[in-house]
Structure 1
Amino acid sequence: MLMKRMCISSPLGVLCSLLLLCSFSTLAVGCAGKFVGLKAVAAGQALVDSATETVRGELEGEQKELIAALVAKAKGIVILPEWGSVSFLYSLGGGNAVMLVRSEQGWRGPLFFAKGAGGLGLQAGITKTSGIIFYMNEEDVHYVLETGATLQGQASVILIDKEYQFNRTPEFFESGEVVFVGETQGMYAGVSLSGGGLSTRQDLNAAYHGVEDGNPEAILFGTSVLPEGARTLLDLLGTAESSVLREDDSIKTKKDETEVSSLTGSLGVSDGT
């Protein structure tokens, strides 16, 4: 027992004890860091899964043709899977949002946002909403990333829900620079001017994508590997876009064939039958 006490109290023993303590501390910090990272990845995946179901629901709903056409045209989208206490776009309440953008390689993302209080402009208030914001111009996409605001003050905005979207011409939908499609409840009228907006969830973005500091530009426009957990969401958007492009090509082909047939007929050229 005396020998043990002497060993610990000796300079060498103290040094050994300190090294052992540091090793345990480093291990504990490392484990804690990994746990926090795994927790952030799980939280990010839960948001992606929720956003995927929101997109799937819109693409399989009554206005699926409109949604697919918007996907094919949009430069970027923000998905609102679970927002409450909001006032249409301009004053969206607290919640989470997921952004994806179109690149030359296809759809990229997701980028996670948290939504604070506040907003701006004329409002049609709601207590609960979920849906998709479509941005038709790259300028508006970059504006969201740079400022955190959901839209620029001069942007032309169209709001669509089940009651609102029927009996509208294609030109009506094409006139919007920012289009919101979704479910809303608890309507009221109001006007508000206040601050606030989107802020990137740096912890989730960094953990989910493995990108240092969760840099939005690197995630959306860089060469980072697309996360496997977002594959279903990205494929949904890609498939919707492809279906619209195929339909457009089919319509163009039929139009060209009709024009050729009409031209040959007017020239008196026989088709050989």
Structure 2
Amino acid sequence: MKLDRRTVLAGTAAAFAAPLISAVPARADAKRQALVDSSLESARKILTGKDYPDAAKYIQGARGVLIVPELVQGGLIFGLAGGRGTLMARGAPSDWSPPAFYAMGSGSVGLQIGAKVSEVVFIIKTEKGLQAILDHRFKFGAEAGVALAIVGIGVEGGSTMAGGADIIAFASSQGLFAGASLEGSYLDPDNDWNALYYGNGANTKSIVLDRRFTNPGAEPIRQFMAKW
């Protein structure tokens, strides 16, 4: 039987293309890419904005950064919070890892009025702070020996305490939300999202420490962080 030449060429092209397609994670992962892009905008706002003059100082020599572009808090009596973020670690000057995905949440009881959306950038100053976040579910205010300082617009905190902190949170908020705090919030690595964005087997440590995975969509935020 005589094969059609176009069929043969198409099959050959597909055979060559298939390994290339499977070897590179798809950039068009809209949900996770949107979070990476939002993290870049939040990092740019906090690190270069005039409202946060100390952020650029503290990022110098920092071990890592965790960015939560949208932390939603709200409720009456019972306050709930939730959001997603990205964690990046510095390996060397101007060399930042691709972002790994994290979920953030909390529950609190107290006088809660209205709702607010917070934009939070956690500057991780020390190796101790980074390892505490990497090793297990991290709960702010409950980790022995890990000091947290909260500064920024919309959050009451002592900037004088930031110099000795392992992790410094810069936050801005929109909307009324009385009595809320980052204390008691927790961070969990989201390896389902990591695998969807980077490929099978991707987890937090293999992304930010071992650098075994990458995605073209993460390059803009890595290039921005390379300035610090």
TM normalised by structure 2 equals: 0.70
Q: Aligned partners of 2:55 and 2:181: how far apart in 1?
A: 29
Equivalent pair of 1:118/1:197 in contact (CA under 8 Å): no
Aligned partners of 1:77 and 1:134 also within 8 Å: yes
| CA deviation profile, 1:115-169 (whole Å, cap 9, x unmatched) | 243379x99997321120111111221211222214324432221123779x96x
Aligned to 1:208: 197
Q: Tell me whether 1:100 sits opposite 2:88 in the alignment.
A: yes
User: Which of 70, 82, 98 is residue 109 of structure 1 equivalent to?
Assistant: 98
Shift of 1:188: 2.1
Give the letter for the 1:188 counterpart: A
The aligned amino acid for 1:181 is: F
Q: For 1:135 and 1:218, how far apart are their aligned partners in 2? A: 19
Q: Partner of 2:171 in structure 1?
A: 182
The correspondence of residues 123-142 of structure 1 with structure 2, limited to 5 A, is 127-142=116-131
Q: Going by fraction, where is strand more abundant, 1 or 2?
A: 2
Residue 159 of structure 1 aligns with which residue?
150
The one-letter code matched in structure 2 to 1:161 is: G
Mark the structure with the bigger radius of gyration: 1
- Residues 159-217 of structure 1: CA deviation (Å, up to 9, x unaligned): 1123779x96xx653222211112024242379997x732222232113222x332211
Q: Is the 8 A contact 1:148 1:199 kept in 2?
A: yes
Q: Which runs of 5 or more structure 1 residues have no equivalent in the other structure? A: 1-33, 242-273
Structure-2 separation of matches of 1:226 and 1:39: 10
Give the corresponding residue for 1:69: 57
Alignment of 1:1-273 (within 5 A): 41-63=29-51, 65-85=53-73, 93-104=81-92, 106-118=95-107, 127-151=116-140, 152-162=143-153, 172-185=161-174, 186-189=176-179, 197-210=186-199, 212-239=200-227, 241=228
Q: Tell me by how many angstroms 1:237 deviates.
A: 1.4
**What SS does the aligned partner of 1:230 have?**
helix
Unaligned runs of 5+ in 2: 1-21
Change (3 A) 1:65 1:229: same
Q: Whole-Å Cα distance in 2 between the matches of residues 191 and 56 of structure 1? A: 24
Q: Contact conserved, 2:150 with 2:162, CA < 8 A, in 1?
A: no
More helix by share: 1
Query: Considering only aligned residues, what root-mean-square deviation do their CA atoms show, in Å?
Result: 3.7
SS at match of 1:94: strand
Task: Give aligned-pair identity as a percent.
Answer: 21
